[in-house]
Structure 1
Amino acid sequence: MGEPTRLRHGRVVPQVESALRGMLAEGRWRAGERLPNEVAVAAELGVGRSSVREAVRLLAHDGLLDVRHGSGTYVAQVPAGPAGAGGVRQLLRRARLLEVYEVRRALEVEAARLAARRVRPEDVARLGAELGRRQEAAGGDPSAFVDADLAFHRTVVELSGNAVLLGLFTSVLPVLREALVEMVVHETALPDLSCAHTALLDALASGDPGAAIAATVENLESLMALVREEFEEEVR
């Protein structure tokens, strides 16, 4: 498969995806050609088979690869030009992320305001433990990080004491989780929002609804602005 590709330190799956995307762009394999198996690709890149499998899944989702169970992974037939299948799917993914975050913002801002008025000391301790688990998961497996992040935010919604808000948030969790995992995997310039999460915890602990709202808005708007900017650049 040629000279080994060196990966940098950091999240592995995005780098594997980027490396494979580069190999496809440079024409290492022709359309319809079968790729080497997971073992060979993992050996060349110096990563585990699970990372290769996840990267292949993402590229198949973007229409660049065709995974045929029992047969192997093949280079898909992609229309020429920037508006090919991969570009279209990326646009759709970012548009969907914006919609998900608009709903999330509406729910979580009100939940934070109510939680700041109703939270108890034992609730603050629980949130602190969940925030610690979120911080520990940062930079690791995307799914584990997203699960820890959503556990923290779901608890905030729960502490609002509003059963309707909690029901709405719980109902969108599956879609939100899928969108967030894709965001963590695909977006390479995600801001570090640890401070915003800490600020939210501090606001809840001090019973300050205004500060809780501000921290929630900072958290969600930072990511929305990033995705919106990249989406608008691609549709120009």
Structure 2
Amino acid sequence: MKPKQTYLLLILSFLLLQACVNKDCGCVAPPETGISYFYTSIKQFTIYEVQEIDYSLTQNPSIKNYQIKESVASFFTDLDGKETLRIERFKRTTENEAWQIDSVFTAKKRSNEALKTENNQTFVKFVFPLYENQTWDGNAYNALGKDDYTVKKLHQPFSIGNKTFRKTATIIQQDDSTLVDLKKRIEVYAEGVGLIYAENKDLTYCNKPDCLGKNTIDFGKSFIMKIKDYGTE
């Protein structure tokens, strides 16, 4: 083959490769591992609206509304030589108040899992690659006892208010419901954003004959957190 023909063939091959990378041309796409659902960049921030409700047999429900801001402040190398993110969490009651530091925790992504450490407890938030109905022990790195997490609605859209996130993953940590109680813990993550919704309910229902099965709450706690804003600082 002549040099000129070889040169033209190389150019054509390169252009075809670029078309494959940038457009849907029937090429085999790289596998979606799910790693982009978990803390994607330094200086990333997310603001959440939070509502906490405490139910009591003797008093009216106590309702607290406030905002939380999580900021990926920096990264450092841990004792195992792994890059670890420092996450700063701030809190305020209303938008007119200044943010006050609430806590600091860490997170890290490995090739096969994502870990988050709060109050000296490490939790396995993801195991990669993600797939529908996948299950793992979220407490594999702590002494709290086995706690199975399950992936549902993988890469499906999820809406919060006027925001719709095209690709999300719902992680079911617990979802047990009976006539007399409800124990539910779920987290929803969006691609390129991270956590967008969290729900934690531990409720005990009235079990008297006149209210059994009506989901009338006797006591317990409800925590719901919804994304309000996100971006890069």
TM bin (shorter chain): under 0.3
Structure (1/2) with the larger strand percentage: 2
The TM-score normalised by the length of structure 1 is: 0.24
Q: Considering fraction of residues, name the structure with more helix.
A: 1
- Greater gyration radius: 2
TM-score scaled by structure 2? 0.24
